[in-house]
Structure 1
Amino acid sequence: MKTPSNLSQLSPDQLRHLAVTLMSQVEEKDKALRHSEQVNQKLTYELALLKRHAFGKRSEQLNVLQISLLEDVVDTDIAAIETELEDLTLASPTPTPTPKKAPKRSPLPPELPRIEIYHDPGSEHCACGCKLRRIGEEISEKLDYTPGVFHVERHIRGKWVCKQCETLTQAPMPAQIIDKGIPTAGLLAQVLVAKYADHLPLYRQEQIFARAGVAIPRSTLAEWVGICGVRLQPLIKALHELLLSEPVLHADETPVPMLAPGKKKTHRAYLWAYATTPYAGLKAVIYDFSEGRSGQHARDFLGEWRGKLVCDDYSGYKQSFANGVTEIGCIAHARRKFVDLHVAGKSQIAEQAIDLIGQLYQIEREAQTLTAEERQRLRDTRARPIADALHRWMLAHRQKVPNGSATAKALDYSLKRWVALTRYLDDGELPIDNNRVENLIRPWALGRRNWLFAGSLRSGQRAASIMSLIQCAKLNGHEPYAYLKDVLERLPTQKASQLYELLPHHWQKPA
């Protein structure tokens, strides 16, 4: 609100209104400043701990491979925090840029092929009307990578001067994810895909690049990964908002070992996965990394969402169900109880249950290509009678087996959850089980064999974000490298209002 130049012309009511408005603006600015200071202090403290760990004594209980992996994590976290602090400083009302020491960079190998890219002014004439005269040029070299091949992009920006008014004109460098860095979007995409899709730790990538004739230190690769993780975060936020607009979601979680810097052993952290159903128009999955398995993590992710959640019987979701989320059970989990029983003792009861549940799955296979309405009619006419017969059969056999027996436990699992297990029969948009998200969480099981543990909460969250984009690209039929390369090229200049164009389900491969 602009303050009038002559306050004496205002009435008492106008003066009071002006005073209230100004006080409100001051309070809002103070609140924003306090929040910025708190975030700054938190990040600065976290950065100090990481640097102390990076340059301090390594734990003697870690082997060489574990130390190598942990060093990658620490370097990556430091780069991410420094990037967030830099963004926070630039966004503050009175930015005070801190001088950053430029790293000593080795020249790129001369034997690598060069591609020259010229950047010249759009017009050969100055604003005053005179023709420009070229007086020199600036050359910036960036390292690019296409799978298996390095080459160098030479960005040549000519210097043009107007003879009449002596105005110097030079085309700007295209915006980059890493300002003034040497990697192109293609090289960054390769590092991210290799690390998070192919599960190659940075020390292995360093060795691969060295064999190709380019020595890139792990600390540099880690810095690139940390900065990319921060820059890609707006896409994850937009994807999160879209996911929570869906009426039905899958959810599951899996343990991941996490080693906090300074600790001598790992403890169990958890990766949560939330995905749309096979019948949804939106094909998406988001991974969320947390330090524990508390149901509060799921509630924090879901927020005010009150849809239908397909999940197992983990108690952490119970509070969400009490708050208005509808539980959809997983028939596959119920079937596994009887499979385990049959494998252990060739139980005839288990065999009969498996056969009846198999009939329900046969109907679902036939219903895969149908519309929701057609699927609902098929379930009403064919699946519901089988489910009712299965329920009566379970009740009858439960009375015949002793409490505490393995057969009783298998029957009780289904009987106690019967309402949730059969809700899919009432809605053609619901799946019969939670297998979709369980399949989407499998890449993390493969990754655990390669990177052994998550080095920190921040590194786990960064991995979850980048792997969300990679997996969403796959779900929508895109090759992850092509998708990330284009996104990293366009993201620096993409308008916030057009960010949705870069989401995997909207992205179009460049012609």
Structure 2
Amino acid sequence: MEQLALLMETNRKQSEIIESQAKTIEELRATIVELNASLAWLKRKVFGKMSEKCNPINSGDPMLPFDYGDLGQIEAEIEAARNKAAQIITPKPQVAGKTPRRNRIIMDDLPVVTVIIEPENLDLDKYVKIGEEHTRTLEMKPGYLYVKDTVRPTYAIKDETEAIENGKRMVVTAPLPLMPIYKGMPGASMLAEILLQKYEYHVPFYRQVKQLEHLGVKLSRNTLDGWFKPVCELLRPLYLELKKKVLSSDYIQVDETTLPVIDHDRHKAAKEYIWIVRAAVPRLLFFHYDNGSRSQKVAVDLLKTFKGYLQCDGYSAYDAFENRKDVRLCGCLAHIRRHIESCREENREYAMQGLKFIQDLYNVEYMADERQLSHEERAALRQRLAGPLLDAFELWLQNTYPKVLKRSLT
């Protein structure tokens, strides 16, 4: 009985295996058929003919046994139908000439202001006008766009013999004034407004594009970006001169601040830094950007020609100037006040004493502002009032420092 049960169990397992294998075989067959079909399609795409034309029928080729009737009559009817269709269908006429330039289409609907430039020192009695040269630029006033059409008449001399004898030019046209962008569509006023919107009012290009569309001109962000770069190059000499003037001062204030820069590859804003250098007395400043870095090397390269008093915060990058004899580092009362303010909860007594010194120093400046003192008068007031206050503040710091724990905020 045990052997019979064992045989039946073995038979059952074998049947299950056979059934499973048969199912697998059917699935594999279906896969093979599918792969063969895909392979045939790929072969046709790669090696076969891509044309869908039918091969011409030869008269000797066997034809299917259908009753076509009179083939000659059918062919005549087909030819007549083809001729009739050819008469109805007319081909699209080819228009000769160039496609209109896009900038002309853009400026077609704008008002035009014409400016005529005549050649200088030209005796018009001896010349005859033979044509004109037009240069159209896109100009802008606040809230108003227009086209400036610069017209330069062309004149030809009446007496060619006189031109040859006296060395006069046969044909004369006034020179075209310099353009901000060579052969560019925008005029100086348009470019100035774009930069003013971007840097003075912080309006990005995509919003400026929408504003310009409301004024009657449809431009793209790429177009504004393409105008922006050459204009920056035009302004570079002014920037370098401003930078030179600021660094020639004997007292400057320097700081660096974060600047979010769009990273198109990562689709997010990267945290970078921009430097600000300000000459306090002439009230001039410039910005400096070096690949978004705030490293010590940037500060050293930026201020390598400076000599005088350098006011900055406690950032370690400025430690490089401690060993320079021609530069003297100065702290900032605003940063000192910020640190003392943070100690109010831990040691209110010392913090309030320090804040009182700083408040008295600022009161001296308020007094000078209210009296509208000149630089010389302000300096005299500082020597008389702020000088003793700073001496007392320094003495207080020296006496207070040993009384606080080294690890405390105070």
TM-score under structure 1 normalisation?
0.55
Counterpart residue identity of residue 219, structure 2:
I
> How much has 1:386 moved relative to structure 2?
2.3
Distance in 2 (alpha carbons) for counterparts of 1:154 and 1:333: 56
Distance 1:152 1:174, change over 3 A: same
Distance 1:395 1:358, change over 3 A: same
CA deviation profile, 1:3-54 (whole Å, cap 9, x unmatched): xxxxxxxxxxxxxxxxxxxxxxxxxxxxxxxxxxxxxxxxxxxxxxxxxxxx
Distance in 1 (alpha carbons) for counterparts of 2:135 and 2:336: 61
Distance in 1 (alpha carbons) for counterparts of 2:396 and 2:185: 68
Query: Structure 2 matches for 1:213-232, cutoff 5 A?
Result: 213-232=216-235
Distance in 2 (alpha carbons) for counterparts of 1:403 and 1:300: 35
Distance in 2 (alpha carbons) for counterparts of 1:147 and 1:346: 56
Structure with the higher fraction of residues in strand conformation: 2
Query: Structure 2 matches for 1:259-338, cutoff 5 A?
Result: 259=262, 262-263=265-266, 266-277=269-280, 280=281, 282-290=282-290, 291-324=292-325, 325-338=327-340
8 Å CA contact 1:309–1:327 kept in 2: the answer is: yes
Counterpart residue identity of residue 364, structure 1:
E
Distance in 1 (alpha carbons) for counterparts of 2:104 and 2:255: 46
* Residue in structure 1 matched with residue 116 of structure 2 by the alignment: 118
- Structure number with larger C-alpha Rg: 2
Give the counterpart of 2:237 among 234, 238, 242. Answer: 234
8 Å CA contact 1:268–1:292 kept in 2: the answer is: no
> How much has 1:384 moved relative to structure 2?
2.7
8 Å CA contact 1:309–1:328 kept in 2: the answer is: yes
8 Å CA contact 2:134–2:149 kept in 1: the answer is: yes
Structure 2 residue matching 1:145: 3-state secondary structure? strand
Distance in 1 (alpha carbons) for counterparts of 2:396 and 2:407: 19
* Residue in structure 2 matched with residue 74 of structure 1 by the alignment: none
Query: Structure 2 matches for 1:20-419, cutoff 5 A?
Result: 104-125=102-123, 131-165=126-160, 167-259=170-262, 262-263=265-266, 266-277=269-280, 280=281, 282-290=282-290, 291-324=292-325, 325-342=327-344, 344=345, 347-368=348-369, 369-407=372-410
> How much has 1:392 moved relative to structure 2?
3.0
Counterpart residue identity of residue 235, structure 1:
L
Structure 2 residue matching 1:406: 3-state secondary structure? coil
5+ long unaligned stretches in structure 1: 1-101, 408-511
Report the number of matched residues.
Answer: 299
> How much has 1:205 moved relative to structure 2?
0.8
8 Å CA contact 1:142–1:183 kept in 2: the answer is: yes
Counterpart residue identity of residue 289, structure 1:
Y
> How much has 1:241 moved relative to structure 2?
1.6
* Residue in structure 2 matched with residue 436 of structure 1 by the alignment: none
CA deviation profile, 1:137-188 (whole Å, cap 9, x unmatched): 1222111110100111111111111021271111122111112212111100
Counterpart residue identity of residue 404, structure 2:
V
Distance in 1 (alpha carbons) for counterparts of 2:402 and 2:318: 30
Structure 2 residue matching 1:404: 3-state secondary structure? coil
> How much has 1:320 moved relative to structure 2?
2.1
Distance in 1 (alpha carbons) for counterparts of 2:137 and 2:156: 26
Q: Output the aligned Cα RMSD.
A: 2.3
> How much has 1:355 moved relative to structure 2?
1.4
Structure 2 residue matching 1:105: 3-state secondary structure? helix
Distance 1:148 1:373, change over 3 A: closer
Distance in 1 (alpha carbons) for counterparts of 2:203 and 2:134: 33
Distance in 2 (alpha carbons) for counterparts of 1:323 and 1:260: 38
Distance 1:376 1:109, change over 3 A: closer
Distance 1:339 1:155, change over 3 A: same
Distance in 2 (alpha carbons) for counterparts of 1:258 and 1:154: 39
Counterpart residue identity of residue 273, structure 1:
I
CA deviation profile, 1:95-151 (whole Å, cap 9, x unmatched): xxxxxxx9853424433221110011123428xxx7110111122211111010011
Structure 1 residue matching 2:151: 3-state secondary structure? strand
8 Å CA contact 2:342–2:409 kept in 1: the answer is: no
Structure with the higher fraction of residues in helix conformation: 1
Counterpart residue identity of residue 109, structure 2:
E
Distance in 2 (alpha carbons) for counterparts of 1:264 and 1:135: 57
Distance in 1 (alpha carbons) for counterparts of 2:134 and 2:243: 41
Distance 1:312 1:296, change over 3 A: same
> How much has 1:217 moved relative to structure 2?
1.8
Structure 1 residue matching 2:403: 3-state secondary structure? coil
* Residue in structure 2 matched with residue 37 of structure 1 by the alignment: none
Structure 1 residue matching 2:365: 3-state secondary structure? helix
> How much has 1:212 moved relative to structure 2?
1.3
Counterpart residue identity of residue 204, structure 2:
P
Distance in 2 (alpha carbons) for counterparts of 1:249 and 1:210: 43
